[in-house]
Structure 1
Amino acid sequence: MSEFASGPQDWVGAWSEKRAALTPDRDGLVDATTGERYTYADLDRRANRTARLLREYGVEDGGRVAVVSRNRPEVVDLFFATGKTGGVLAPLSHRLAPPELGELLARVDPGLLVVETPFLGDVREATAEAEGLETAVLAVEAGDDDSVAESSQTYADELPADDSSVETATLSPEDPHLLLHTGGSTGTPKETVVTHRGVVWNSLNTITAWGLRDDDVTPMVFPMFHTGGWNVVTVPLWHMGGTVVVAREFDPGELLRVIDDEGGSVLVAVPAVLRMMTDHEDWDETDLSTLRFVKSGGGPCRQSVMETWWDRGVDLSQGYGLTECGPNNFAMPEGWPREKADAVGTPAMHVDARIVEGGEPVEPGDIGELQLRSPHAADGYLDNPEETEATFGSGWVATGDLARVDEDGYYYVEGRKKDMFVSGGENVYPAEVEDAIADHDAVAECVVVPVPDDQWGQVGKAVVELTAGAEAFSLDALRSFLDGRLARFKHPQHLAFVDEMPTSGPEKIDRQAVTERFGE
């Protein structure tokens, strides 16, 4: 191996510096909340100031900065600045309860904690519970609650004025850049160690598989405390020199406006967001002609929602990813047939995929665990060797997701291994049942959870959120609707309705919360 390939590479962390040199006057970031626009030259100057701040607090050469914030330019500054200093950025969810946040902070042990003002109260409670944690806290924006911010140092006041070039750390691709926590459906989330290598390779996989362009514009609706906020499309677009639009809050009407006003060409969102956009009063009037493609991720997208986008001439397909690998692992081939709409596509350029049962590959069409292998895989979990070995130890990333591959090489995700249940000796995959129930005109969202049954061991319980104005239906009516669509052993034996599904992210359904309320 050459010295260049194996030795330190100072370009790895210099994202803003390199892009500013290539396209200084092009917009890299738009803040839809304030209307501010930032060229790549602006972003690099901001990153230089932030890098100086981080070095004052010792956040370099592997030092860590944690941030609790909604999507805003300061979080972007921290990403580019940690690349310059060799620091590690750990974005933490502002939706976590203080005990959960305290546990993550103790694990990350940051040298600096940057907090958006609305979350200062929770962070103070969390840091008080994090035993042995000593870190400086900087507040972003005074906001409306001046009493909360009075006793805090502010990010703006501490930021050095000098925005000239800084010396960039000499980094290896194997050095960590991000600590991204998992969804946390069971217990406190795990912190996944994402290296510069992983960030770069996922970006390359995304660009080559999805065909990203330097003139692409995306409204970024995923939170920056998840991999979706960075690696799904944000960093790949910065790699190309495209434009990313962020906002503090999600609103379907505002998202439609951004696509129209900014000429949005790429959109990736969870199914519920895509559905809410189609239900919005501005849907028919919004110009969607600039959208080259839309990807749905974070769960199966209803056929009716996909058809509504297709009817507007938009190429909507499903994607698949996870924090531990990528997350962009598949793409739909050019000219893919609509009958393959339930698939997530075929593996990206530098991704290997296989379906296994008991560690051995299964035949096409059979369901097993999806495993992935790629240079964009994460390095493991922070300070968690047992979980790291279980997920990464085989040389493949064990996703925990059940899937199958057809004779044409298209992969279909059938749901989580832990969600599958056995009813009368037959395997039932909730995602398949939910997809069938979602075809009902009165169903907006559906989750199927197992419940005990004296005769069959376990049976399904359908938890349904109705569409606006729809009336509740009976279990018999639902089972009649499913006749001919699903084998009868897959039919739910119980039915419940909710006004609104609980969510764990940007309108991503919190399946764990539904299970805790309605399941065993």
Structure 2
Amino acid sequence: MHNEGLGSWLIRRLEKSGPKVAVIHGDDALTYRQLHERSARLAGALASAGVRPRDRVALLGENSPAFLETLFAVGMVGAVLVPLNTRLAVPEIRYQLEDSGAKLLIHDETLTGLAEPASRELPDLLRWAVGGSTSGGTPALDSVIAAADPWTEDVPVSLDDLAVILYTSGTTGRPKGACLTHGNFTWNCFNVLVDYDLSVDEVSLMISPMFHVASLGMGVLPALLKGATLVLESKFDPARVLRLIEKHRVTWLSGVPTTFQMLCEHPDWETRDISSLRQLTCGGSAVPMRVLEAYENRGLAFTANYGMTETSPGATTLPAARSRDKAGSSGLPHFFTDVRVVDAGGHRAQPGATGEILISGPNVIAQYWNRPDAAGSFEGQWFHSGDLGYLDEDGYLFVADRIKDMIISGGENIYPAEIEAVIQELPEVAAVAVVGVVDEKWGEVPHAVVVPRDGAQLTAEKVQEHLAGRLARYKVPKTLSLVPDMPRTASGKIRKNVLREQATR
């Protein structure tokens, strides 16, 4: 085949796994053959609508088969997918549509309230709706697929060609569009399949949104490349997730510490049958010890990972067998990826010395979309992550914090993640974030924001008492807020820029 990219995966998988169930969503199931047939018809519809190689097709939707059909159909015609975060506001969606130059927007009908006003000032942008009937001039995707002829052409697509533009969360300034190639995703999948013990009979439950790179790159694509089965959930609900694990005999679950914590703290945790689980992968931050122990008590262990949009997203992984003796570590570099830590002068840091984390490999992007001003993030083969960390004597990576999140107080460098880990030891704490706030004397001081667990009796005084003697005095937060919830991105990461703004009001 001339198409070496994602668009060729379904036809390559067809002969091997045609009748096998590829996707389960609610009460619906699609085999690999059905997924291919619908994707091929959608590709034909895209071509008929004027979508050509390298054109951009935007997608605004929750986890569903339509997301996968669009992904593979776009790849078949050699175009580029632009997944949009469903939690964005109208101006943010409009900016990404304009910046990417999208020719078509496919969106869930339930998200018309976002899609319609965001595209109103883009008269040349076509719109198709998922899950609705054709009305108001917006064609329904099912009708579009049913009326189209299947795509049969073999468009030349190389691994170096652009596959997806994923916009970063934009916690400071305008978000940047990371240009992920077919090769970036393919090599990331190789890393997952080499470093994780995945099998063809895997049943993977996707509880994180596929418009986020962690779900798409670390879960969805490796599973489909392997010929496994995906169970897609549009929204995260702990009780429902536990039921689905039992119902579908789920073997592989991935998420962030918050989702795993919510599962093990749910009243159904002890009564649901989760004995089918054998793979737990967690990213975003270290798993709190009490959560680790809750899963260990049920015979389970975590594989931790570290990465970002720009690395498709895997950079390092910590095997489950090392979750105890290397607690807090993000692990070793993935098989086809290299990681180093450098000091302020750009020289390789000594073991244990904190510096910026640099990443290299075929899974790392080479550029941002329309952002020549961001070229400084790339230096030869190395991508500057903007994260701080260190490598221990065995080469295991420990991530300290984002460079922008580091607090400089009276000349001392303070890493919020260190403080957060100690506060998280308290069983009454559901979530915590530490940010720097302006101080007339010290320049900056730490401020802690804590979410108590439901029903817990937690006070600021109790947190301060817990920190006393465990941290240097200059690291102990000078102020603390107890809040009912945290502002988060779609991937579950705490939006510290919002917390900083709230703390300074």
Query: Shift in Å at residue 268 of structure 1?
Result: 1.2
Query: Shift in Å at residue 18 of structure 1?
Result: 0.7
**Pairing 1:396-435 to 2, within 5 Å after superposition:** 396-435=382-421
Identify the residue that residue 191 of structure 2 maps to in structure 1: 205
- Alignment of 1:105 with 2:111, yes or no, is no
- The residue type paired with residue 438 of structure 1 is Q
**Pairing 1:132-147 to 2, within 5 Å after superposition:** 134-142=124-132
CA distance in 2, matches of 1:392, 1:78: 31
- Alignment of 1:319 with 2:305, yes or no, is yes
8 Å contact kept, 1:272–1:508:
no
Query: Shift in Å at residue 266 of structure 1?
Result: 1.5
- The residue type paired with residue 164 of structure 2 is L
CA distance in 2, matches of 1:333, 1:98: 41
Question: Which of 316, 326, 329 does residue 343 from structure 1 map onto?
Answer: 329
| Structure 1 residue matching 2:325: 3-state secondary structure | helix
- The residue type paired with residue 493 of structure 1 is K
- The residue type paired with residue 64 of structure 2 is R
- Alignment of 1:379 with 2:379, yes or no, is no
8 Å contact kept, 1:223–1:505:
yes
CA distance in 1, matches of 2:455, 2:339: 43
Question: Which of 423, 431, 447 does residue 445 from structure 1 map onto?
Answer: 431
CA distance in 2, matches of 1:408, 1:333: 14
Question: Which of 339, 348, 352 does residue 361 from structure 1 map onto?
Answer: 348
CA distance in 1, matches of 2:197, 2:16: 20
| Structure 2 residue matching 1:267: 3-state secondary structure | strand
| Structure 2 residue matching 1:47: 3-state secondary structure | helix
8 Å contact kept, 1:47–1:78:
yes
- The residue type paired with residue 514 of structure 1 is L
Identify the residue that residue 25 of structure 1 maps to in structure 2: 19
Question: Which of 77, 93, 101 does residue 69 from structure 2 map onto?
Answer: 77
8 Å contact kept, 1:198–1:378:
yes
1:199-226: CA deviation from partner (whole Å, max 9, x where unpaired): 1100001100112211111111221221
1:448-488: CA deviation from partner (whole Å, max 9, x where unpaired): 1111222222111111110111123134x322211232122
Count residues with an aligned counterpart: 504
- The residue type paired with residue 301 of structure 2 is D
Q: CA RMSD in A?
A: 1.9
8 Å contact kept, 2:62–2:234:
yes
1:345-371: CA deviation from partner (whole Å, max 9, x where unpaired): 111110100001121110000111111
Query: Shift in Å at residue 333 of structure 1?
Result: 4.1
- The residue type paired with residue 188 of structure 2 is N
Question: Which of 87, 108, 111 does residue 95 from structure 1 map onto?
Answer: 87
Identify the residue that residue 43 of structure 1 maps to in structure 2: 35
CA distance in 1, matches of 2:192, 2:303: 15
- The residue type paired with residue 135 of structure 1 is L
In 2 relative to 1, CA 500–424 (structure 1 residues): closer, same or farther, beyond 3 Å?
same
- The residue type paired with residue 368 of structure 1 is G
Identify the residue that residue 303 of structure 1 maps to in structure 2: 289
CA distance in 2, matches of 1:456, 1:112: 52
- Alignment of 1:126 with 2:118, yes or no, is yes
Identify the residue that residue 459 of structure 2 maps to in structure 1: 473
1:302-350: CA deviation from partner (whole Å, max 9, x where unpaired): 1211111111111113211100013122222473261312111111110
| Structure 2 residue matching 1:14: 3-state secondary structure | helix
| Structure 1 residue matching 2:7: 3-state secondary structure | coil
**Pairing 1:211-222 to 2, within 5 Å after superposition:** 211-222=197-208
TM-score (norm 1): 0.93
8 Å contact kept, 2:5–2:182:
no
- The residue type paired with residue 22 of structure 2 is G
1:54-83: CA deviation from partner (whole Å, max 9, x where unpaired): 101222311111111111111110111122
- The residue type paired with residue 391 of structure 2 is V
| Structure 1 residue matching 2:310: 3-state secondary structure | coil
8 Å contact kept, 1:421–1:450:
yes
- Alignment of 1:490 with 2:468, yes or no, is no
TM-score (norm 2): 0.96
8 Å contact kept, 1:450–1:519:
no
In 2 relative to 1, CA 374–117 (structure 1 residues): closer, same or farther, beyond 3 Å?
same
- The residue type paired with residue 63 of structure 2 is N
In 2 relative to 1, CA 276–338 (structure 1 residues): closer, same or farther, beyond 3 Å?
same
Unaligned runs of 5+ in 2: none
CA distance in 2, matches of 1:189, 1:225: 15
Query: Shift in Å at residue 493 of structure 1?
Result: 0.5
- Alignment of 1:258 with 2:248, yes or no, is no
Greater shift, 283-292 or 352-361, is seen at 283-292
8 Å contact kept, 2:208–2:236:
no
Query: Shift in Å at residue 183 of structure 1?
Result: 1.7
Identify the residue that residue 13 of structure 1 maps to in structure 2: 7
- The residue type paired with residue 23 of structure 1 is S
8 Å contact kept, 2:42–2:148:
no
Unaligned runs of 5+ in 1: none
8 Å contact kept, 1:317–1:344:
no
